[in-house]
Amino acid sequence: MRQKFKFHIIAAALFLLMVPYKSVAAPTSHHPIRDNASKHLQKKLDQRVKALHLTRAVQQKRLAVALVDVTDPSSPHVAQINGDEMMYAASLPKIAVLLTAFELIKQGKLPLNDETRATMTRMIRNSSNRDATAMIRMVGKDKINQVMALPKYQLYDPQHNGGLWVGKEYAGTAPYHRDPLHHLSHGASAIQVARFYYMLQTGALVSPQYSAEMKSILSKPAINHKFVKGLGAMQNPDIRMYRKSGSWRDWHADSALIEHDGHSYIAVALAHDPKGGEWLKDLIHEMDDIIEAELPATHALAQAEGTTSPRL
């Protein structure tokens, strides 16, 4: 009897050891953003940020930036500055509400009708706080951060200093659940937001069909500031921008998947400064120039010399 009991104990212990191993080892589709750092792209980004006299803001962690060339989605090129620094991001985390809504739509728990689509579109393009609050109540307050932490997304990951977080309605109500790491009500980090757009571009958010739906909602931004103003995107029909920004007091955020002239790239910037909006307007101009003018030569140099890719 004792031998049989010992056997069952050992078997149970082995089973418990095997379960987490399988879940950790499971491959995911969003690793390239953390695995494909480009030292050449990084050098160009560092140079442009220094030229804009933003070095001190970087050192004080009042500025975070991510730039990802996704012209070839299977081989992204990544550069970042304070990429995993989680900051207050105002309305930018409304993309987390959008993703959660489509998770529930796929499960048949939320209808994708004209009214729901219009509410989500106003929430994103016009950054409507009323519509964002309505969507938060529709999907359920706790559900949003649960979806961000799902293993298939890991858009909020304590091992990488957090990420996308929504712990307050976009209304005059108290926070219902602040981020446990930084006590933020609406938070984001540049790399986690970049990962959101990478998964959007590769059809890995919910499904290819729903990724396309979300991409459509993120198109045609209605607010002409920061990234939009920096590129003159509203006046240039050749630029396709899928974007969500955020502003509150001295906090400024912008994020976009941008496509034009045969190139596609993801740009994210978070700033804490009264002039942050101007910083972002200038930054996107520099990042666009890196992708459009300098990156082809950078790629050729990288292929000639070989590229090391440390984890971000």
Domain spans of the chain, in order of start: 31-305
Kindly report the number of other CB atoms within 10 A of residue 97's CB atom. Answer: 25
Provide φ and ψ at 49, rounded to 5°: -65, -40
Residues contacting 249, CB < 8 A, separation 6+: none
Residues contacting 287, CB < 8 A, separation 6+: 45, 48, 65, 67, 265, 267
Kindly report the number of other CB atoms within 10 A of residue 186's CB atom. Answer: 27
* pLDDT mean for each 10 residues of the chain (312 residues): 38 32 36 88 97 98 98 96 98 98 98 97 98 98 98 97 98 97 98 98 98 98 96 91 98 97 96 98 97 68 46 34
pTM of the full structure: 0.86
Give how far the C-alpha of residue 138 lies from the chain's centroid of Cα atoms, to the nearest Å: 22
In 3D space, the residue among 73, 33, 44, 57 whose CA is nearest the CA of residue 269 turns out to be: 57
In 3D space, the residue among 304, 253, 269 whose CA is nearest the CA of residue 79 turns out to be: 269
Match 């209605």 to its residue by tokens. Answer: 222
pLDDT of residue 192: 98
- Tell me how far apart the alpha carbons of residues 274 and 84 are, in angstroms, rounded to a whole number: 22
pLDDT of residue 290: 96
Instruction: Using CA atoms of 230, 235, 241, 244 in order, give the dihedral in degrees to the nearest 10.
Output: 60
Q: How far is CA 236 from CA 185, 228, 239, 240, 278, in A?
A: 35, 10, 6, 9, 20
Q: What is the largest CA-CA distance in the chain?
A: 81
For the chain, the C-alpha Rg in angstroms (whole number) is 21
pLDDT of residue 30: 56
Give how far the C-alpha of residue 200 lies from the chain's centroid of Cα atoms, to the nearest Å: 10
With beta carbons less than 8 A apart as the criterion, state whether 73 and 197 touch.
Answer: no
pLDDT of residue 239: 95
Residues contacting 242, CB < 8 A, separation 6+: 197, 200, 215, 218, 219, 256, 257, 258
Report the chain's terminal Cα–Cα distance, integer Å: 53
Provide long-range contacts, Cβ within 8 A and 24+ apart, for 138-146: 138/101, 138/110, 139/97, 139/100, 139/101, 139/104, 139/110, 141/169, 141/176, 141/177, 142/177, 143/100, 143/104, 144/96, 144/97, 144/100, 145/96, 145/177
Asked: is 31-305 a CATH 3.40.710.10 domain? The reply is yes
Q: Is 280 helix (H, G, I), strand (E, B) or coil?
A: helix
